[in-house]
Amino acid sequence: MKRDFQQRLAKLESQASARLSHLLLLAIAYYLGNPTEVDSPFEAYAHALGYPSWNELKQANEKERSEVEAREVSTYEKLMAKFGVSQEDEWPAITDAQERMEAGLSDEYKDHLKRWIEWGLRELRSGDENKPRDSA
C-alpha cells in the first residue's frame, strides 16, 4: 500500500511539473511570440525563441540542442522579467507571477492548457503514461 501511494505521489508530482512546463510554453508563446490568429502556440513559441517556424526550431534542436536551450533560458528570463520577477525571487512571488501569466492568456491559450492538463490526467488515471503508443 505504501509503495502504491509513493508511485501515485510521484505521478502527481510529474503531472504538476508537466502542467508548469505547458503553462510556461504557452506564456512564452503568448506574451513574447507575437502570435497571430493563424499561428499555433508552437509557431508563436518558435518565434519567441527567434526561429521563423516550429519546424526550424525542431531542426535546430536536432543539430545544436545547446543553442536552443540557451535561447529557452533567455526567453524564460524575459518572460519572468515581464511579470516583475526573476529566478532569484522567493517562490511565492514566482507562483504569483505564474498565476498572472495564466490569468492573462487568451481563451484559446487557456483552452490549450486545459486540454493538455486533461490529457495528462487521463494518462495518470490509466497508468499508461510510460507505455508505447499504438501507431495504428
pLDDT tens string 26-78: 999 999 998 887 789 999 999 999 999 999 999 999 999 999 999 999 999 99
Could you tell me the pLDDT band of residue 13, with boundaries at 50, 70 and 90? low
One-letter amino acid for residue 85 of the chain: V
**Which residues touch 3 (CB under 8 Å, ≥6 apart)?**
none
